Amino acid sequence: MMFWQIVLLILGLALLIKGADWLVSGASNLAKRYQISDLAIGLTIVAFGTSAPEMVVNVYAASQGHPDIVFGNVIGSNNFNLFVILGITGLLSPLVVHSNTVWKEIPISFLAIILVFLMANEYFSMGTKILNQWDGLILLALFMGFLVYIFRQMKLELPPENGEIQFLSFRKAIFLILVGLAGLVIGGRLVVSQAIHMAEGLGVSEKIIGLTIVAAGTSLPELATSVVAVIRKNNDIAVGNIIGSNIFNFLLILSVSALINPLSYQADFNKDLIFLTAGTLFLFLAMFTGKMKKLDRWEAAILLVAYLGYMLWIMEAEVKPLV
């Protein structure tokens, strides 16, 4: 039984990844036709496309009443994005970061973490720890504000060079977007159902499944996109994709999940949010060491080592109660 659960989980992840790839390909081609900058594409279309697996997984998890998978997936994905993906891409090539990313997008990402922490822990009221519909509406409104900021930035950015872009026909781009969305929907259903069955079969909490297997699996599109972007020497898409995805995850995906169903929050997630906060601060400070606005290889290595230590820590904490 466990074998088939693993097979179906892998199949679901494959559909999520390929669906996101098709969605990003179609949407990016349409955007390039209208001369939208690489940074804007990274922060919006690519970030949304690579965050689509998290969105689909969380919509299913929220509708079925599994808040631990919702929070575990979002927080775990953001930690994976920041520590693993930036770590790997930074080791491949030192990442020169756009000035706006340093002074605006990274601080926005940091503030989103703090806001979710305060909302989930009910610092704004005396109720139980829950992310309710009102919280969801606030996060969604802030996300709309973030989109307004990005669209304003589009007017200020230089248009991208199209030398390496082979444009698809309009029909083919739309077809890729629709097929990609279908892959995301089917894959998301498989991932959520099989992750829940595996958690039950292994006696592991849904929180850990969400923070590890589901989070890493739904973050694979971000990993593939950022690695390819670095190989093509396009740091703006690589970094913008990660920071944009983290902002999308908190402001859009959590807001939609909370609007579908109020999400009860475990205080155990606080340490994961604190770890993410520390990583975001480290990334910001790294922009001012050595060469300005650059993530060096040694700093990328620190991110990877920190994530390994973090994973060992949360797995040890999970195992102890079972002993």
Tens-digit pLDDT profile for residues 148-163: 887 776 665 544 444 4
* Lowest-pLDDT range of 58-67, 219-228, 245-254, 279-288: 219-228
Of 97-101, 183-187, 254-258, 316-320, where does the model show the most confidence? Answer: 254-258
CATH number, domain of 72, equals 1.20.1420.30
Give the confidence band of 302 by pLDDT, cuts at 50, 70, 90: very high
* Lowest-pLDDT range of 7-11, 31-35, 170-174, 199-203: 31-35
Structural element, H or E, at residue 264: strand 263-264
pLDDT surpasses 70 at 282: yes
Q: Which two tokens stand for residue 273?
A: 């949010």
User: In this predicted model, which residue has the larger pLDDT, 317 or 161?
Assistant: 317
* Residue-wise pLDDT tens digits, 254-275: 999 999 999 999 888 999 999 9
Query: Is residue 227 domain-resident?
Result: yes
Mean pLDDT of 159-182: 68
Query: Is residue 175 domain-resident?
Result: yes
Query: Is residue 82 domain-resident?
Result: yes
Mean pLDDT of 221-226: 74
pLDDT of residue 30: 67
DSSP for 186-226 reads: HHHHHHHHHHHHHHHHHT--HHHHIIIIIHHHHTHHHHHHH
* Residue-wise pLDDT tens digits, 108-122: 999 999 999 999 987
- What is the rounded CA–CA span in Å between residue 179 and residue 154? 28
Please give the tally of structural domains in the chain: 1
Give the confidence band of 88 by pLDDT, cuts at 50, 70, 90: very high
φ/ψ of residue 150, rounded to 5: -65, -45
Mean pLDDT of 18-45: 67
pLDDT surpasses 50 at 127: yes
Domain that holds residue 152: 2-156+168-322
Average of per-residue pLDDT values in the chain: 80
Query: Is residue 94 domain-resident?
Result: yes
Task: DSSP letter for 130, please.
Answer: E
pLDDT surpasses 80 at 192: no
Query: Is residue 144 domain-resident?
Result: yes
Query: Is residue 163 domain-resident?
Result: no
Query: Is residue 161 domain-resident?
Result: no
Query: Is residue 218 domain-resident?
Result: yes
